[in-house]
Structure 1
Amino acid sequence: MAGKTILNHHLLEVLKAFLVTDVSVEKTLINGMPFVPKEVIDQEGEENESIGTGFIPSYLKAVQSYKNLFKNWQAGSPMDISKVRELIIPLFNKAMENPSALFLLHHYSTAADYLYHHAISVGLLSGYLARKSNFEQGDVLQITMAGCLVDCGMAKISPKILEKKTSLTTDEFNEVKPHPLYSLQMLQNSSILKEAVKYAILQHHERLDGSGYPSGKKGEALHTFSRIVAVADVFHAMTSERNYRKKQSPFKVAEMILQDDFGKFDISVVKTLLSGITNYSIGNNVKLSNGYIAEIIFVESHAPTRPMVKMKDSGEILHLGKNRELFIEEIL
């Protein structure tokens, strides 16, 4: 079947006649919206019967709304923080009715619209981490706003850089690095946001060991809000498909944050993230790095990124903690 072919009822019948059980499909529909499998839509509908409209359709609508706002900022329009608040806060409240969906948002992110998915997802994840860290409700909502706004300053970066499909050169990356400063300038005069939110936006790429940017601040110099947003930001970035990098599974990313980036992030926030991933993953099917499908059946608190899984084809119980060559490639 040729590329860019639109599947219709007739073609599906042809595939069945030739006993074709699966095909590769584009992740973006012809109208630019992300492709959502029927099984996911059905599951979403079942999970949301009691709360009306499903979360994922609301999420995708919010992404498109943020995209429109961002395009306006690129064109020079002033930022209206109240519009961002109207967009993200109701969605966050809906997300808290079914938090498990937050750890699957990377499935819907496309390389072309990554920046807009990232803003909404980081806002939601930041709010979730703040709530689970027992922040007061007012601060939870402010941190949600912070996560959503961290990259608004990207509107001041050349579109050629934002749309580049290969890795950035050193010079190009140096052009991107001041974006937290641009974000701060865009919302500096807002009375809706606490000063702590502005610290979070300015410092979300700083690291506890001083290896971050734009100022190289470290340790106690980093605001509590920024420590939460930093974890949400890097988690969604690493689990999402980018123009120059493939997405990675939440389990693999969490393991990388714990090991490769040890000392860069607030460990209490990382543990809160891990708790969410594991709590909502038990019973889920996953694809392992060897291509086999398995079900997560048990997660040990001391090794949350390497759970016990049951192989779908053989029923064999496999402990990923004892099989270090394998890792969870994708949550299905």
Structure 2
Amino acid sequence: MKVHPQQLIPGCLIIKDVMGQTLTPIIPKNTVVEPIHLQVLKKFKVLEVEIANKLVNGDVFETDQQEVITEEQEMPFYEQYVDVVKKTEGLFKSWDHRSKVDVQKIRELIYPLIEQGENKSDVLLKMHHYNKPENYFYYHIVSMPVIATFLAKQLGYSSKERLNIALAAFLSDIGMLKDQEDIYLQNRNLTQEEFKKIRQHPVESYRFIENLPVHQDVKVAVLQHHERIDGSGYPMGVKADKIHPFANIIAVSDIFHAMTSERVYRRKQSPYKVVEELMKEHIDKLDMKVLNQLVKSIVNFSNGTQVKLSNNEYGTIVFTDERHPTRPLVKLAKDQEIINLIEDKSIYIEEIL
């Protein structure tokens, strides 16, 4: 829908670039509105913006319907996503360590979402925008199955396998319910004792579901989703072929979403910067088949692709070296200068336009 900026409230999602009397957007699409954006819109005398029908917390955006500039603009995936996040928070807060998890309710909640997400090629590039840092825990729980099933489909897993991967990804952090959720959201460095508790959450998650009617692959993947190929993971430190393939997919999804999302103690990072770091720092820890699929799914540039760079410059990709897929040659919009991102490591692609 289109609304006047005065009708906006924090938490609205802008779904179309907001242009002032400028060549580049003053507020790009997929921005979650904060008070600073309201000031920018007022300063530039913007008369209307396009927003999603739901806030980022899942609530329906309500305003005076007579003042809404109506234009049908559906965003079914986004709206379903934030709705699932909201319902997931409600589910988790209704459980405790004595509760029996309602697996059927979880399936009904997440399966329609992941069926949409696994067919959306841009899901990996957008999900980190749909996030409230103070509620990161629940956004992360819902995002992992979406990312994991997208990757699993690209890797050739069957529909039945993908549903089990989604369930395992959703349940993998359920052990946080015991007493770790508050620790997980702390805006500070954890104490040694708190970090020790965090490392036990895969075991606690497994205990939550070990007697539930779910496939054994799901249970093993939940237990092993923090294991690493080189044996540096937890809780058991198993290596390589001892790790279930589902767990390897969830591990990559977990790290990717965590690194690209805004947290109470850290700004969100570009997906392109994150995959560079994963290829550099985690190449011996993560399953390379899964990691390569993540890179392939994200880095699908072609000549003529318009991008925003980390230095707030805009440009067009003119050449991509297959050996360095995240660092193409970019012709800048303002002066037509061509910069080589392979040579200038301080700049990276922030977003595809």
Could you say which TM-score interval applies, normalised by the shorter chain?
0.7 to 0.9
1:240–1:170 CA distance, 2 compared to 1 (3 A): same
1:74 deviates by 3.8
Task: Tell me how far 1:159 sits from its aligned partner.
Answer: 4.5
Cα distance in 2 between the residues matched to 1:92 and 1:62? 11
TM-score, normalised relative to structure 1: 0.81
Task: Sort the Cα spacing of 1:150 and 1:255 in 2 relative to 1 into closer, same or farther, 3 A.
Answer: same
Shift of 1:272: 0.4
- 2:225 and 2:302 mapped to 1: Cα distance? 27
SS at match of 1:310: strand
Structure 2, unpaired ranges of 5+? 9-20, 36-47, 54-71
- CA distance in structure 1 between the partners assigned to 2:143 and 2:149 by the alignment: 10
Q: Which has the higher helix share?
A: 1
Q: Counterparts of 1:280 and 1:119 in 2: how far apart (Å)?
A: 29
Give secondary structure in 1 for the equivalent of 2:248.
helix
Kindly provide the amino acid, as one letter, of the partner of residue 154 in structure 1: M
Count residues with an aligned counterpart: 305
* One-letter amino acid of the counterpart of residue 204, structure 2: Y
Alignment of 1:308-327 (within 5 A): 308-327=329-348
Is the counterpart of residue 84 in structure 1 residue 96 in structure 2?
A: no
Q: Which residue of 2 aligns with 1:164?
A: 186
Counterpart in 2 of 1:304? 325
Selected match of 2:294 from 251, 256, 273:
273
Aligned counterpart, 2:64: none
Change (3 A) 1:261 1:73: same
Equivalent position to 1:197, from 204, 218, 233: 218
Change (3 A) 1:58 1:158: same
The residue type equivalent to 2:6 in the other structure is: N
Q: Deviations over 1:51-77 (max 9, x none)?
A: x66211111111111111111124753
Unaligned runs of 5+ in 1: 1-6, 11-18, 31-36, 43-48
- For the Cα contact (< 8 Å) 1:306–1:327, is it kept in 2? yes
Provide the residue aligned with 1:225 in structure 2: 246
Identical positions, percent: 38
Q: Could you give the per-residue CA deviations for residues 246-300 of structure 1, whole angstroms, max 9, x where no partner exists?
A: 2211111101111112200011111100111113798665442333233445544
Give the match for residue 68 of structure 2. Answer: none
1:252 is aligned to 2:277? no
Q: Retained in 1: the 8 A contact 2:301–2:320?
A: no
Aligned with residue 124 of structure 1, among 146, 163, 168:
146
TM-score, normalized by length of structure 2? Answer: 0.77
From 283, 290, 296, the equivalent of 1:262 is 283
Opposite residue 345 of structure 2, the aligned amino acid is R
* Further displaced range: 90-99 or 251-260: 90-99
C-alpha contact 1:278 1:299 (8 A) present in aligned 2: no
The amino acid of 1:103's aligned partner reads L
Residue in 1 aligned with 2:128?
106
Question: What is the root-mean-square deviation of aligned Cα atoms in Å?
Answer: 3.2
